[in-house]
Amino acid sequence: MNITVNGEDRRVGPGTTLAELVEQVAGSGRGTAAAVDGTVVPRGGWPAERLRDGVVVELVTAVQGG
């Protein structure tokens, strides 16, 4: 499947969940927020959110610093 993640094209396997994608892109997902096609998906919903061909995913990770 072809999806867009943070503005870049990416291929993922059929049935990939948002949780799996976040792990691939951001590691633990700690401090990460995710939206699929403009709708924020709460962290608890990531394992059930199966990605579809053509979806747009935005991942934002908080960075601590001074």
Which two three-digit tokens encode residue 62?
Answer: 């908080």
- How much is the pLDDT for 66? 61
- How much is the pLDDT for 19? 97
Contact 4, 52 (CB under 8 A): no
Domain membership of residue 47 (yes or no) is yes
Which two three-digit tokens encode residue 16?
Answer: 């990939």
pLDDT in tens, 19-42: 999 999 988 778 999 999 999 999
Please give the Cα distance from 12 to 51 (Å, whole number). 9
Give the domain range for residue 48.
Answer: 2-61
Cα→Cα distances 20→1, 31, 64, 66, Å: 14, 16, 24, 31
Closest CA to 36 of 26, 48, 13: 48
Task: Please tell me the total count of domains within the chain.
Answer: 1
Domain membership of residue 44 (yes or no) is yes
Domain membership of residue 66 (yes or no) is no
CATH of the domain at 50: 3.10.20.30
